Amino acid sequence: MSQNSKLSNYKKQRYFNICVIGAGYVGLVAAACFAKLGNRVICVDNDKKKIEQLKKVKVPNFEPGLEKLVKEAVRKKKLSFIHSIAKGVKDSQIIFIAVGTPPKESGEADLTALEHVARKIAEHLDSYKLIVEKSTVPVQTGLRLKESIRRYAKRCREFDIASNPEFLREGRAIDDFLKPDRVVIGVESDKAEKILQALYKPLGAPVLVTDINTAELIKHASNSFLATKISFINAISLICERAKADVSKVAEGVGMDKRIGREFLKAGIGYGGSCFPKDVLAFIQIAKKVGVDFKLLEEAKNINLYQRRHFVEKIKEELWILKNKTIAVLGVSFKPDTDDIRQAPALDIIKMLKKENANVKVYDPEAASKAKKVLGGVSFCNNVYDALYKADCLALCTEWSQFSNLDFRKIKKLMRYPFVADGRNFFDREKLQRLGFRYLGIGR
Ligand code: UDX
């Protein structure tokens, strides 16, 4: 068969045999969604316990719709879970690498797991495979991946590398996967491009094709831009506080300009989660490595951390002495609709309050059991009203929608001092003030 007719075959192919290595958050969502599109997917993880659980369709993380999707795909025999990379590689045309790239102490991404997987894939390479990076990796990782697979491949050296970053938000990952703003594919051969174009065709989303380095960079640049946007409005919020202006209205006015947009302009105690803090740190290190001092990003990170301290300072300014005062923290997850507490601003805030010897009571509808494992000397409550009993301050850290229906008349009676520190500008300030609360938001 000529090269051209082989390529047009890929173009026509609708379904692929896919192996996703890494059944973490990104890998599992990708595996389930590829299976939903009709592909046959094998999901591999070296954590035997996790694979056993997944075989019983027990999904380890709280992500709306994921368990249902996994269940359906397993039932239709489109998705299976195994422990062996060898079988996964052998049975697939496309291999997605979605293993963790956690930060080292310096902020640089630790690529140990990725390199290990590359060697394993190389060992079992027996025919042409398209090997795709899905994990968030520093620019030029694709090059190293290629070198490494070449070096360790035994029987076959026919493969392509591609980069296909994910842009999934926790809590909306399935929608973000199936209805993306864009699909980015970084490739260095026509064959790799055709395969990935065909794979993503059913989504009908705009596809941006680039070289591998550029695709890798798009991921870090996107997350860093969004994080900087949040820090920008948080810096404005400090000016608003001193100049007696309202940051919510400033954000509204600024965001009405289509070139800027309204999203990610909510001032508050800053960003957390498993992506923004890690990716910002990693991007600072990546820039350093290529000889660029990315001061803007360094500052975005500093502003983000300052917002947490500033929130505690505001509470302290109001209550004067925090020792033996009771602060009810509402929400510990890094954002609503998730039980994820990784890099959650609330954790730092609670630690700072504890350092001042305040009594901290916490309520979170989903994240309490995770938070209990990392926070000592804090009492966890079963509901908002228990947390607020005899409290001197209600400190809102995560804007769970259920907090929009609180009975503030009842709360006023329960609290020792009716004071609301609103870390997400979530509550109706005028209403609270009318009811006799002392209200402090961010930048208003
Ligand atoms: C993010 C990116 O949005 C996603 O594209 C990427 O793939 C992974 O990282 P996620 O971490 O799930 O997703 O959360 P996101 O909804 O983006 O929020 C991140 C943090 O920013 C949260 O702590 C949130 O509270 C905070 N945030 C968001 C603000 O403080 N203000 C805003 O205006 C928006």
Average pLDDT value for residue range 185-193: 98
C-beta 167 within 6 A of ligand 1: yes
pLDDT score for 351: 98
Q: Write the single-letter amino acid at 368.
A: A
Distance between Cα 210 and ligand 1 center (Å): 25
SS3 93: coil
In the residue annotation, 33 being an active-site residue is answered as no
pLDDT score for 2: 54
C-beta 264 within 6 A of ligand 1: yes
C-beta 270 within 6 A of ligand 1: yes
Question: Could you report how far apart the first and last alpha carbons of the chain are, in Å?
Answer: 69
Give the list of residues 6+ apart from residue 269 with CB closer than 8 angstroms, or none: 307, 308, 311, 345, 346, 349, 397, 423, 424, 442
Q: Which of 275, 381, 393, 397 is catalytic?
A: 275
State yes or no: pLDDT of 25 exceeds 60. Answer: yes
26 and 135 Cβ atoms separated by less than 8 Å: yes
Average pLDDT value for residue range 137-146: 95
* Alpha-carbon distances of 413 from 168, 382, 410, 416, rounded to whole Å: 42, 19, 5, 8
d(CA 264, CA 21): 32
Query: Looking at ligand 1, which atom is closest to the CA of residue 338?
Result: 12
125 and 157 Cβ atoms separated by less than 8 Å: yes
Closest to 325 (Cα-Cα) out of 347, 351, 354: 354
The pLDDT confidence band at residue 92, using thresholds 50, 70 and 90, is very high
* Alpha-carbon distances of 265 from 103, 254, 335, 422, 423, rounded to whole Å: 27, 9, 15, 16, 14
Query: Looking at ligand 1, which atom is closest to the CA of residue 265?
Result: 33
C-beta 194 within 6 A of ligand 1: no
C-beta 268 within 6 A of ligand 1: yes
Average pLDDT, the chain: 95
pLDDT score for 299: 98
pLDDT score for 3: 54
Smallest CA separation from ligand 1 atom 5, residue: 167
C-beta 168 within 6 A of ligand 1: yes
C-beta 173 within 6 A of ligand 1: no
Digit-coded pLDDT (tens) for 230-275? 999 999 999 999 999 999 999 999 999 999 999 999 999 999 999 9
Distance between Cα 276 and ligand 1 center (Å): 7
Digit-coded pLDDT (tens) for 147-169? 999 999 988 889 999 999 999 99
Give the list of residues 6+ apart from residue 306 with CB closer than 8 angstroms, or none: none
SS3 130: strand
Task: Please name the residue that has the structure tokens 């052998």.
Answer: 90
Distance between Cα 16 and ligand 1 center (Å): 32
Distance between Cα 170 and ligand 1 center (Å): 8
Smallest CA separation from ligand 1 atom 3, residue: 169
pLDDT score for 11: 67
State yes or no: pLDDT of 345 exceeds 90. Answer: yes
Please choose from 164, 226, 231 the residue to mutate so as to test ligand 1's pocket, defined by most ligand atoms within 8 A of CB. 226
C-beta 223 within 6 A of ligand 1: yes
Nearest 5 degrees, angle CA 304-CA 308-CA 310?
105
The pLDDT confidence band at residue 120, using thresholds 50, 70 and 90, is very high
Average pLDDT value for residue range 176-202: 98
234 and 409 Cβ atoms separated by less than 8 Å: no
d(CA 442, CA 444): 6
Smallest CA separation from ligand 1 atom 7, residue: 167
pLDDT score for 277: 96
